[in-house]
Amino acid sequence: MKHARSLLAPAVFALVATATLSAPALAHLYACKDRDGRVWFRNYKQDGEKCRIAMRTDDPEPTDRGGASSRAPATSKREFAPPGAAGAPRPVEEPGSLDKRMALYAAYVEEAAETYKIPVEFIRAVMRVESAFRFQAVSSAGAQGLMQLMPRTARAMGVNDPFDPRQNIMGGARFLRGLANRYGGDMVRVLSAYHAGSGNVAAKGGGIPFETTEGYVRAVLDHYYRYKTL
């Protein structure tokens, strides 16, 4: 796709431009501010820059839960067991307000972020674009739930009920963790693969494979940066 990089927001372009540099397979993703105040996302730190870790990618194992591998996580029903014998609570009627729907699942998002070392804002941004925080959402392609998991992906992530809010969020975060490990924390590639599949990203030489995927990546990262300022 021509001019794909130039259409991305400046911070996103900075990430794409540095993604081809060599980095450890499981390096952290750093947000670094240069002398001009611009923020660059890299898999490394440069001397003289103020950096913070924007995404951790060196801890593929879930914390305090069964061991999941980074590439092909083992299914663990216990890991995704809903809280309480009756299962995760589902709203009888979802609020009309997007912010209120987002608030319903805040505890599950925080749990998933802690378990898989993915930023809360990143998970929230994916959920916002995928389903607008509607737990019963189903796409025309068959993706289901808050994180819009395809049935095959849901099963691979240990999700027994894709419409259970907690299971879906945990499964989606687990999938993001595997992609983060695979792509060294490169958020553009992670999102491209989440949207279009790793095979299509590989076929594009690691680039964004489709125009619709480019729009998806931009939308998620726009929400991600916005949530980080709240």
Residue 15 lies in a domain: no
Residue 46 lies in a domain: no
List, in order, residues 6 or more apart from 36 with CB less than 8 Å away. Answer: none
The whole-model pTM stands at: 0.65
Instruction: Show which residues are catalytic.
Output: 130
Residue 137 lies in a domain: yes
Residue 193 lies in a domain: no
How many domains is the chain built from?
1
pLDDT of residue 127 exceeding 50, the answer is yes
Residue 216 lies in a domain: no
pLDDT for res 196: 96
pLDDT for res 93: 72
List, in order, residues 6 or more apart from 118 with CB less than 8 Å away. Answer: 55, 112, 173, 176, 177, 180
pLDDT for res 94: 78
pLDDT for res 172: 96
pLDDT for res 82: 34
- CATH code for the domain of 149: 1.10.530.10
Residue range 160-175, pLDDT digits in tens: 999 999 999 999 999 9
Query: How many whole angstroms separate alpha carbon 15 and alpha carbon 118?
Result: 17
In contact, 95 and 190? CB cutoff 8 Å: no
Residue range 147-206, pLDDT digits in tens: 999 999 999 999 999 999 999 999 999 999 999 999 988 999 999 999 999 999 999 998
pLDDT for res 118: 92
Structural domain including 149 reads 61-183
Q: What values do phi and psi take at 144, rounded to 5?
A: -130, 145
Nearest CA to 20 among 193, 178, 186?
186
In contact, 196 and 213? CB cutoff 8 Å: yes
Query: How many whole angstroms separate alpha carbon 194 and alpha carbon 167?
Result: 17
User: Token pair of 60, please?
Assistant: 């593929």
HSE on the CB side for 42, CA within 13 Å?
Answer: 16
pLDDT of residue 1 exceeding 60, the answer is no
pLDDT of residue 25 exceeding 80, the answer is no
Residue type for 47, please? Answer: D
Residue 21 lies in a domain: no
Residue 132's pLDDT band (cuts 50, 70, 90): very high
Residue 164 lies in a domain: yes
Neighbouring C-beta atoms of residue 72, cutoff 10 Å: 8
In contact, 179 and 194? CB cutoff 8 Å: yes
Nearest CA to 124 among 160, 176, 84, 72?
176
pLDDT of residue 19 exceeding 50, the answer is no
Residue range 30-89, pLDDT digits in tens: 667 767 666 665 556 667 777 777 655 443 333 322 223 333 333 333 233 332 223 455
Residue 116 lies in a domain: yes
pLDDT of residue 10 exceeding 70, the answer is no
pLDDT for res 14: 41
